[in-house]
Amino acid sequence: MPQPELSVVVVTYAIDLQARRTLQSLARDHQRGVTGVDYEVLVVDNGSPEPFPEAALADLHGRFRLHRVDPAPPSPAHAANLGVSMTTGANVCMILDGARMVTPGVIANGLKALSLYPRPIVTTMAWHLGPEHQSLSIPKGYNPSIEAALLAQVEWPADGYRLFEISALAMANPGGFFGGINESCCLFVPRALWEEVGGFDERFELPGGGFVSLDLFARFLALPDSQLVVLLGEGSFHQVHGGASTGTTADPAAWRAEYQALRGRHYTNPEVRPAYFGTMPPPARSWLTGP
């Protein structure tokens, strides 16, 4: 096969339903403006107790394949790095949490934004499905059944931009499109830049990776002459699944301690000076002024 323009790596662990939705959102018949765009999607199952079924890829439009890591460490960092090493795209899109659905212009606009600067770091902003960040909504009873009803309410996947209507901002970017950001949940970079930064630091070993994603984002921003580009009108949307950062087992103190042990300092949000690229579909416009 010829080298694709983009390799998308999706890491999943014990989230069969949520990963299926994420992959559907990445399929060629859901993404818009991808005629003539060659991209592949590699799903890396990070040791799920019940392996993610390869049959789930059969009906998806596009170049999808599956790799399973077993045995696997608790952190997704190794699976993500392995996934990138198994792909050949000139550019990389990393979705570290397979529960994050994306909007229909992510692939086309992500690639366009990558062409704007010599050393680009392109990201969507992030949302959580439901009325609040899921660390708040789950204790109040938010669950997969309620989430399924919300998705039916907006008739997903007919128009993926309607996810903006049933979501709340993630804590990575609480100010909306024009606020600060300390993490990318859907990250595009040239492969050369990924190799320069060295990918995820696999010494982050806590379940879910702790601050591994925040650390990678900060290290990208620290690269000389790099430019952050935020995609307007696009987003990633976290589905409820009892993950490490939104479930009842979250231990932020342990994450902070691990970061300090590895980096020799407390974690602080990076300073960002983003450029912006994209359009604003009507469902996204309510977020122009923040929360």
Strand partners, 275: 229
- Does some domain include residue 74? yes
Classify each residue of 168-192 as buried b or exposed e, where b means 16 or more C-beta atoms within 10 Å of its C-beta.
Answer: bbbebbbebbeeebbbbbbbbbbbe
d(CA 65, CA 77): 19
Query: Which residue intervals of the chain are DSSP H helices?
Result: 16-26, 77-85, 106-114, 134-137, 144-153, 191-197, 212-221, 252-263
pLDDT mean over 127-151: 97
Predicted confidence (pLDDT) at residue 290 exceeds the cutoff of 70: no
Predicted confidence (pLDDT) at residue 180 exceeds the cutoff of 90: yes
d(CA 204, CA 216): 11
CATH number at residue 55: 3.90.550.10
- Does some domain include residue 269? yes
Model confidence pLDDT, tens digit, residues 273-285: 999 999 999 999 9
How many domains, in total, are found in the chain? 1
What integer pLDDT is reported at residue 2 of this predicted model?
Answer: 80
Q: Structure tokens of 102?
A: 């994306």
Domain that holds residue 174: 6-286
Average pLDDT over the chain, rounded to whole? 96
- Does some domain include residue 194? yes
Predicted confidence (pLDDT) at residue 249 exceeds the cutoff of 90: no
What integer pLDDT is reported at residue 289 of this predicted model?
Answer: 76
Predicted confidence (pLDDT) at residue 196 exceeds the cutoff of 60: yes
- Does some domain include residue 248? yes
pLDDT mean over 198-212: 97
Model confidence pLDDT, tens digit, residues 119-133: 999 999 999 999 999
- Does some domain include residue 172? yes
- Does some domain include residue 1? no
**Coil/strand/helix, residue 277:** strand
What integer pLDDT is reported at residue 90 of this predicted model?
Answer: 98
- Does some domain include residue 291? no
Q: Is 157 exposed, middle or buried (0-12, 13-18, 19+ CB in 10 A)?
A: middle
What integer pLDDT is reported at residue 244 of this predicted model?
Answer: 56
